[in-house]
Amino acid sequence: MPGGTPTGLRPAPASSWWCPGQIPPTRGTIYPRLTPTRKRFDEPVARRTVQMDAMGQSRPAESSTIFREIGGPHLYVERMLPAAPTKLDQLIVARTAAEEIDHFRKVARVAGDLGTDVTFVLSQPNEKRFVDAFRGIITTWEDNAVFGFLIDRIGRYQLEEFYDCSYLPLQRILPEIVTEELGHIEYGYNKTLELLSKGDEEKERVQNAVDNWYVRALDMFGRSGSARAERYRYWGLKRRTNEQARSDYIKEVNPILTNLGLKIPDPLKGRRYL
């Protein structure tokens, strides 16, 4: 399965795609939080999080993982909505964008209720986005498929970090968002599989897309030994260090790529954050 252990070259079941709202099963190892007490907060810890970001960044809110959600649609809507291979695919691109916009809405509400306005994210050009993978634009269907398969998976990883976190308003919005991200991953996987069935030329194009997104995906976990990630763990907002999450992602994705008959790219080539 694209969301977990690969079981072969079968399309992923679309169970979560049209039926959002369920709490997805927990995947992989559960890492304990650093804070010994599972205190629940309705405000203070998350507020401190925003303030901490503000100390070292010119665009404080954007630098935090939870405020990056609107990035995806700006990458693929312009070219992929008109260029998707079938009418159904066009509609699914629109539906995916709708879900990502809704994720932004929910996270913007959490930030807004804390006094942090993140609306600037809606109007800034792609090249100014904080996450490197969200700069530029997706121009090929292969890139679009692999983006869903590899990059939406990062979204799932980062959001799962907040499961059972100490800030309740954030915890409450997670299950539906993660369920929808699982749908995006499944769709990307199934489209990748579909493309691979079209022969060697198409396989080469898919491999190029994997080479491009794989390295960016690894960078999206951030620097190993990040002090900020450590503080998030201390506050009970996250479970894993950046390097633990990246390592888990590699362990999950590499066998899927191999099962698909694709080469695993050099994990160090072109990396910006080690």
Partner 1 sequence: MAQAAPNTEKLDEHLLEIVRALHGAVKQGVAHLGEPKIVDGAIVDCEEILDVIMAGDVEAWLSEAVA
- What is the nearest approach in angstroms of partner 1 to the Cβ of residue 27? 27
Is residue 23 at the binding interface for partner 1, with CB under 8 A as the rule?
no
| Token pair 């990040």: residue | 226
Q: Which residues pair with 167 in a beta bridge?
A: 41
Give the residue from 129, 164, 189, 210 showing the smallest Cα distance to 6: 189
Is residue 108 at the binding interface for partner 1, with CB under 8 A as the rule?
yes
DSSP-derived secondary structure for 119-175:
THHHHS-GGG-SSGGGSS---SHHHHHHIIIIIHHHHHHHHHTTTT-SBHHHHHHHH
Instruction: Kindly tell me which of 55 and 88 has the beta carbon lying closer to partner 1.
Output: 88
- What is the nearest approach in angstroms of partner 1 to the Cβ of residue 73? 7
Six-digit token string for 79: 């070219």
Quick one: the chain helix, strand, coil %, rounded to 5?
A: 60, 0, 40
Instruction: Decide: residue 135, CB within 10 A, 0-12 exposed, 13-18 middle, 19+ buried.
Output: middle
Q: How far is CA 156 from CA 13, 70, 139, 174, 178, in A?
A: 17, 15, 24, 10, 6
Instruction: Kindly tell me which of 43 and 132 has the beta carbon lying closer to partner 1.
Output: 43
The 58-77 site mask, x for binding partner 1 (CB under 8 A), equals: ---------------xx--x
Contacts of partner 1 in 35-54 (CB under 8 A): 43, 47
Give the residue from 6, 11, 125, 146 showing the smallest Cα distance to 70: 125
The 112-151 site mask, x for binding partner 1 (CB under 8 A), equals: xxxxxx-x--xxx---------------------------
Instruction: Kindly tell me which of 161 and 186 has the beta carbon lying closer to partner 1.
Output: 186
Taking contact as CB under 8 A, which single stretch among the options 79-87, 143-151, 175-183, 254-262 is the one that binds partner 1?
79-87
Instruction: Kindly tell me which of 115 and 199 has the beta carbon lying closer to partner 1.
Output: 115
Instruction: Kindly tell me which of 99 and 219 has the beta carbon lying closer to partner 1.
Output: 99
**Which chain residues interact with partner 1 by CB under 8 A?**
43, 47, 73-74, 77-78, 81-82, 87-88, 90-92, 94-95, 97-98, 101-102, 104-105, 108-109, 111-117, 119, 122-124
